[in-house]
Structure 1
Amino acid sequence: MAEESSKKELKISFDVEHAKCSICLNIWHDVVTVAPCLHNFCNGCFSEWLRRSQEKHSTVLCPQCRSVVQFVGRNHFLQNIEEEILQSDSSLKRSDEELALLKSYATVKSPLVINVRHRKRPRLAPEEDSNNTDQPLPCLQCGTMLNGFQCTQDTVHLQCQACWGMMPSRGTSVPQHCFGCDRAFCGVYWHAQGIVESQTHPVCNRVTLKPISEYSITSIPSTLHEKNRHEQDVTQRTITQMGRTLQDVVSEWIAKLNNREIDRTRMPLNHAEMVTADTHICNECFDKLVSFLLYWFRVSLPKHHLPTDVSKREDCWYGYSCRTQHRNDEHAQKRNHVCRPTRGNN
């Protein structure tokens, strides 16, 4: 009985009218949420609203309730609801032209994260520390002019995903988001303002976000080859047997990527078609990129370059999509899983 009840799915009734953007009056597209009022809008619609408010140097107000907006971010949970609604009623879908226009307006890249993790507060003097609360610390440009810019009550802020400190959201040439996951990181921004460290505010190391070409690597990522440790070992031994280093191989394949010699279909990064060696990404996305590039290194390599004990293995029908490789160690070792699937994986 317990097993049967555990298989039941929870069904939620949702009024379509509650999934409409109050700016365009259509079903959300790439829905974003503003805080603290938590109203929801299309990314493109709110981005245009934000742009016009900033051009007028006026307070950014919620288009629905007119409260002051302090944060804005993409809402992945509501995006799933948005997709379910459109799948259930195709008449609510917009034209490709409308969606392309909305996408061109969209500037909100980060998820909505407001003080969701406890982070250590900076060490203060005892008399100051006694007045501490759990409120987020303001950013370094709230109340202080740096390089000709100072936050006002209208400034929208981003929360760094490494140190969880705050920084102003600005349309400058200084990267504030990882191009691979769209999350915000403050290291490059604060270093561009001449801030390396602060006693009162979190400041990231600049290396939390940097161009792909500036990364170095000495060990294979744990995510490589769908976490199949046997295939990871084969890749490492192959590189060593060829008299090369992991850094050499990765650098070679970054160059191939930059020259558009690689099919990017399975690249696990956002904006895959636009990624170059100069693209700024975070450490986590670099590991994902390395896993992608080493897959291509292996799949493009003639079998006689592999260590002799694995060069004659037969390909698994399900290739990299094989689920058995994760629960059957003998199967994971016996078959080659760095290959494309030739059969569906039921």
Structure 2
Amino acid sequence: MERPGEGEQLPQQQPWGRLLRLGAEEGEPHVLLRKREWTIGRRKGCDLSFPGNKLVSGDHCKIVVDEKSGQVSLEDTSTNGTVINKLKVVKKQTCPLQTGDVIYLVYRKNEPEHNVAYLYESLSEKQGLTRDSSEANKENVFHVTKDTSGAGQGDGPQVLPSSPATQGCFEEPQPSTSTSDLFPTASTSSVEPTSAGRGPPSSSDGEPHLKLPVLVADQCRDAQASLDVRAAATKPDKMEETLTCIICQDLLHDCVSLQPCMHTFCAACYSGWMERSTLCPTCRCPVERICKNHILNNLVEAYLLQHPDKGRSEEDVRSMAARNKITQDMLQPKVRRAFSDEEGSSEDLLELSDVDSEASDVSQPYIVCRQCPEYRRQAGQPLPCPGPGSEPGAPQAPSEAPSTSTSVTTAQDYVCALQGSHAICTCCFQPMPDRRAERERDPRIAPQQCAVCLQPFCHLYWGCARTGCLGCLAPFCELNLGDRCLDGVLSNNNYESDVLKNYLATRGLTWRNMLTESLVALQRGVFLLSDYRVTGNTVLCYCCGLRSFRELTYQYRQNIPASELPVAVTSRPDCYWGRNCRTQVKAHHAMKFNHICEQTRFKN
């Protein structure tokens, strides 16, 4: 913690308040508030600075005094808010301060040793308190003695953070402002009324502490209003919470995302973290890759355009740029950690995250599929697996899905090695044994990936369990593309697609018949595909198969003789842009021009 030197303050300025650190060691000096606006934060330029405490925001809050009325208030400028007497004040909110208020810059319910709290005392001239007298009588503002005539000066002060008299003032709905009736009858001790002649003495009698009852009366008068202000705290900015880095507790800056968990942090913050841990600070998942998150960076930039006051200082930006060691998408570097992943500040960072405690368990289990020994033992089933899709206790493939090839038998009796490699099906997101390398040596093993996009799919291995799956992986000639595969099949041109559907319907043909004829033409070299590797026997996923099917469908429609089509279709002029026309998705343009042709205008 850093405080500015006494020499920085003008000698004629008298302190109007002070902050006493709660839990401080004996002899630690208190903070005297001299300036009209006193800033608190992690930034070194703050009047009260905590440069080494990451739980404190760069500009956390400021305490301001109104020179005319003497009213003191705290305005929050932090990310997580400031707690005053167990009531949270969020960013942009202002809360009036009174003597005895406890200000928590950091409040950790389960880890009180991390709390940073101060007790506020008013030393304003209206109360007649000088710096020296406040040092000798700092507890006097927390209690009111029974005798208010001034004889109580010799009584020993009672160290009461919240005395019964003060509590009584907060319980009184409308406390009296008369000096003869300062204290409500709800107080636990009887209070003798003060005569009218015993008003507050003048400043010449040398007893400034006798004005303390007036302070308490002012507190009582404003107590209800203060509580109403604190209770009316608005909800925090949800967008700001979403765009907050859990490490620095500030808006994301040059953020990066971790794969595969996709949690996001400032590049500078994670640069320091990855030097000692290869696990994600939020979920403890092993990090495989680090990537720039351009979408979130754009969102932060747009948010700061609307809220420029929430941006980082230039000094903070330069510091983060110097600490940033992630300059491009890269694999998680192999680092030598100075301590265990479970030690040190990692637990503090985990506490700051919004994840559930169960999700932050450091003992992440490895993937277990239906053919793993662990899965069998947990389910109480014998290790040998039954046939694909008929395994007890496993979800069944839907009835509309094509059956897995019966020629594949090696998957039935396979048992995974302990902590063996697994692949996640792109369709149902369920794990399966990764036997793709083994298939290169033994073709009897069922294919587990698409030959074009190389994404893993489980349908041919044991039957995909996702509801509505039509067979996510199959040879091209066996793919089930569904009854709606002809909708917009010709460049999303519904008119041309309807012409083709009517042509097939009048001849009693289906899309399967058309696919079979097209594959024969492909084999003979009449039709061509953009991916020359694809044949009728190529194992494709649904998406890659549908894309190749659309290419063949266009060539099939192009080869239909004009005599077999309606006159209204063949009499249309060709569009200049042909099959590449971007306006053909509009019904009027599609009906007016033929788009089963090549582009003839502006063609490079």
TM-score when normalising by structure 1: 0.52
Tell me how far apart the structure 2 counterparts of residues 322 and 206 of structure 1 sit (CA, whole Å): 32
Tell me how far apart the structure 1 counterparts of residues 433 and 591 of structure 2 sit (CA, whole Å): 50
Residue 255 of structure 1 corresponds to which residue in structure 2?
A: 520
Higher strand share: 2
Helix, strand or coil for the counterpart of 1:227?
A: coil
5+ residue gaps, structure 1, are: 1-11, 13-34, 41-61, 68-133, 266-271
The answer on 1:297 being equivalent to 2:543 is: no
In the TM superposition, what whole-angstrom CA distance separates every residue of 1:215-251 from its partner, at most 9, and x where no partner exists? 3564443341111110111111222344533332221
Residue 596 of structure 2 corresponds to which residue in structure 1?
A: 338
Matches within 5 A, 1:135-284: 138-143=368-373, 147-153=413-419, 155-170=420-435, 171=437, 172=439, 173=443, 174-190=446-462, 207-215=471-479, 218-265=483-530, 272-284=531-543
Matches within 5 A, 1:117-132: none
Helix, strand or coil for the counterpart of 1:224?
A: coil
TM-aligned CA distance change 1:135 to 1:336, over 3 Å: farther
* CA displacement at 1:306 relative to structure 2: 1.5
Residue 587 of structure 2 corresponds to which residue in structure 1?
A: 329
In the TM superposition, what whole-angstrom CA distance separates every residue of 1:113-154 from its partner, at most 9, and x where no partner exists? xxxxxxxxxxxxxxxxxxxxx98962123335653542333x
Residue 38 of structure 1 corresponds to which residue in structure 2?
A: 288
Tell me, yes or no, if the aligned pair for 2:477 and 2:515 is still in contact at 8 Å. Answer: no
Tell me, yes or no, if the aligned pair for 2:575 and 2:594 is still in contact at 8 Å. Answer: yes
Residue 577 of structure 2 corresponds to which residue in structure 1?
A: 318
Higher helix share: 1
Amino acid at match of 1:175: P
Residue 306 of structure 1 corresponds to which residue in structure 2?
A: 565
TM-aligned CA distance change 1:309 to 1:148, over 3 Å: closer
Tell me, yes or no, if the aligned pair for 2:449 and 2:456 is still in contact at 8 Å. Answer: yes
TM-aligned CA distance change 1:224 to 1:284, over 3 Å: same
Identity %: 28
Helix, strand or coil for the counterpart of 2:602?
A: coil
TM-aligned CA distance change 1:236 to 1:205, over 3 Å: closer
Higher Rg = 2
Tell me, yes or no, if the aligned pair for 1:316 and 1:337 is still in contact at 8 Å. Answer: yes
Amino acid at match of 2:538: T
Tell me how far apart the structure 2 counterparts of residues 330 and 302 of structure 1 sit (CA, whole Å): 24
5+ residue gaps, structure 2, are: 1-253, 255-284, 291-330, 337-363, 377-382, 385-412
Tell me, yes or no, if the aligned pair for 1:230 and 1:333 is still in contact at 8 Å. Answer: yes
TM-aligned CA distance change 1:255 to 1:312, over 3 Å: same
Helix, strand or coil for the counterpart of 1:158?
A: strand
Tell me how far apart the structure 2 counterparts of residues 163 and 254 of structure 1 sit (CA, whole Å): 29
Tell me how far apart the structure 2 counterparts of residues 179 and 167 of structure 1 sit (CA, whole Å): 18
Tell me, yes or no, if the aligned pair for 2:529 and 2:548 is still in contact at 8 Å. Answer: no
TM-score when normalising by structure 2: 0.31
Tell me how far apart the structure 2 counterparts of residues 251 and 208 of structure 1 sit (CA, whole Å): 19
Tell me how far apart the structure 1 counterparts of residues 335 and 525 of structure 2 sit (CA, whole Å): 47
Tell me how far apart the structure 1 counterparts of residues 512 and 573 of structure 2 sit (CA, whole Å): 29
Tell me how far apart the structure 1 counterparts of residues 469 and 499 of structure 2 sit (CA, whole Å): 34
* CA displacement at 1:165 relative to structure 2: 0.4
Tell me how far apart the structure 2 counterparts of residues 152 and 138 of structure 1 sit (CA, whole Å): 10
In the TM superposition, what whole-angstrom CA distance separates every residue of 1:157-179 from its partner, at most 9, and x where no partner exists? 21111211011222223211122
In the TM superposition, what whole-angstrom CA distance separates every residue of 1:98-125 from its partner, at most 9, and x where no partner exists? xxxxxxxxxxxxxxxxxxxxxxxxxxxx
